[in-house]
């Protein structure tokens, strides 16, 4: 069973849409807080910290956004915290991504569904990468997949999402596209965030890393890792242009991780509209476009109801893919 790029594009749901232009007056968070559902260094942590700083730098918030790292369960610990203990907190937003939608699609947050929270807005999409340590003998993506194909026990791949999560799915789909029929033979090791996964790669505990551009960038800049494939339809611009795509190496895979936020389900309409408007203003700013370009984020401009619909469609699409590759029944 070979996954076509169009199928993967649907899974990633990397769509371009116009902003809703929501405006809100009268609400300003007293103690703005962003939960990053993983340890420092990963994509959720990047989302909270970069957006929080930018909101203040642009004058959209007059107070510093407190970032709280709440790791565990591939985002499940944070989700349960929001649903069960902070359901009416108007000051709180939570970083989310395709990994969040994946876990919800697979029922991996016990007792929780996507409609228990309010989905705020996207701030871009992050193409997936597969990387190795800088001194690895693995030259390219086909070489890595050939090693897995010939001896699955010889290669361990680390990612920042739980087993069955988006990082896991990306490498499974790449393996499947390379002719590995039993993708469950791929040895994947889950960590709480991409930063921890890369640390294990550098320690030699695993042989490859599956994650996203934003997670990998700092380690690429420091020279610690080498990206062997970007899961984009064509090479990215700027400093990312040096990284080969999986497609150009004969592995027809596209994988993009949207990034955005959800809020507590009991957040007031006034607070929800205000947060949506602030994130929309941030996204529209030239400063955010520069941050997107510097961190390899592709456009994804959705707010409010449009983002809520987008996430619902993403969950449904990921459920279909998960069934096809045997992750769920």
Q: Provide the residue-wise pLDDT of the chain in tens; the chain has 329 residues.
A: 233 333 333 334 333 333 333 344 579 999 999 999 999 988 899 999 999 999 999 999 999 999 999 999 999 999 999 999 999 999 999 999 998 999 999 999 999 999 999 999 999 998 999 999 999 999 999 999 999 999 999 999 999 988 888 899 999 989 989 999 888 899 999 998 888 999 999 999 999 999 988 888 889 999 999 999 999 988 988 888 999 999 999 999 888 889 999 999 999 999 999 999 999 999 999 999 999 988 888 889 999 999 999 999 989 888 887 887 788 88
Residue 179 and residue 114 share a domain: no
Query: What is the per-residue pLDDT for 254?
Result: 87
Residue 289 and residue 200 share a domain: no
Pairwise CA distance, residues 72 & 209, whole Å: 19
Residue 261 and residue 234 share a domain: no
Query: What is the per-residue pLDDT for 6?
Result: 34
End-to-end CA distance of the chain: 17
Residue 107 and residue 61 share a domain: yes
CB-CB contact of 52 with 230 (8 Å): no
Q: What is the DSSP string of 86-152?
A: -TT-TTEEEEEEHHHHHHHHTT-STT--GGGEEEEEEEEEEEEEEEEETT-S--SHHHHHHHHHH-G
Residue 167 structural domain:
127-249
Query: What is the per-residue pLDDT for 15?
Result: 35
What CATH number does residue 221 fall under? 3.40.190.10
Residue 176 and residue 285 share a domain: no
Q: How far is CA 28 from CA 24, 194, 261, 300, 306, in A?
A: 10, 32, 17, 25, 23
Residue 13 and residue 109 share a domain: yes
**What is the number of domains present in the chain?**
2
Composition of the chain by helix, strand, coil, percent to 5: 45, 20, 35
Residue 75 and residue 13 share a domain: yes
Name every residue whose Cβ is closer than 8 Å to that of residue 49 and which is 6 or more positions away in sequence: 36, 67
Examine residue 329 and state whether it is found in any structural domain, yes or no: no
Q: Could you give the 3-state DSSP secondary structure of residue 154?
A: helix
């Amino acid at each position: 069973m070979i996954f076509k790029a169009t199928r993967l594009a649907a899974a990633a749901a990397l769509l371009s849409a116009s902003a809703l232009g929501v405006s809100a007056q009268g609400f300003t968070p007293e103690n703005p807080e962003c939960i990053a559902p993983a340890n420092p260094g990963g994509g959720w942590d990047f989302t909270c910290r970069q957006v929080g700083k930018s909101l203040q730098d642009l004058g959209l918030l007059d107070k510093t956004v407190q970032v709280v790292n709440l790791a565990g369960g591939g985002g499940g610990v944070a989700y349960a915290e929001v649903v069960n203990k902070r359901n009416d907190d108007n000051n709180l937003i939570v970083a989310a991504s395709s990994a969040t939608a994946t876990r919800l699609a697979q029922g991996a947050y016990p007792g929780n569904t996507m409609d228990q929270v309010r989905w705020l807005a996207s701030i871009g999409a992050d193409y997936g990468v597969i990387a190795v340590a800088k001194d690895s003998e693995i030259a390219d993506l086909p070489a890595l997949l050939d090693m897995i194909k010939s001896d699955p026990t010889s290669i361990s791949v680390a990612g920042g999402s739980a087993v069955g999560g988006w990082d896991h799915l990306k490498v499974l789909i790449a393996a499947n596209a390379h002719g590995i029929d039993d993708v469950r033979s791929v040895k994947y090791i889950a960590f709480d965030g991409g930063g921890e996964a890369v640390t294990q790669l550098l320690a030699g505990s695993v042989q490859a890393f599956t994650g996203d551009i934003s997670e990998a960038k700092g380690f690429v800049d420091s020279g610690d890792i080498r990206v062997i494939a970007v899961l984009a339809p064509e090479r990215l611009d700027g400093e990312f242009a040096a990284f080969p795509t999986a497609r150009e190496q004969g592995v027809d895979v596209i994988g993009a991780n949207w990034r955005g936020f959800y809020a507590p389900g009991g957040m007031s309409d006034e607070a929800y509209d205000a947060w949506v408007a602030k994130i929309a203003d941030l996204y529209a700013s030239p400063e955010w476009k520069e941050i997107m370009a510097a961190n390899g984020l592709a456009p994804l401009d959705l707010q409010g109801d449009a983002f809520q619909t987008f996430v619902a469609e993403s969950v449904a699409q990921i459920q279909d893919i998960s069934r096809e590759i045997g992750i769920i029944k």
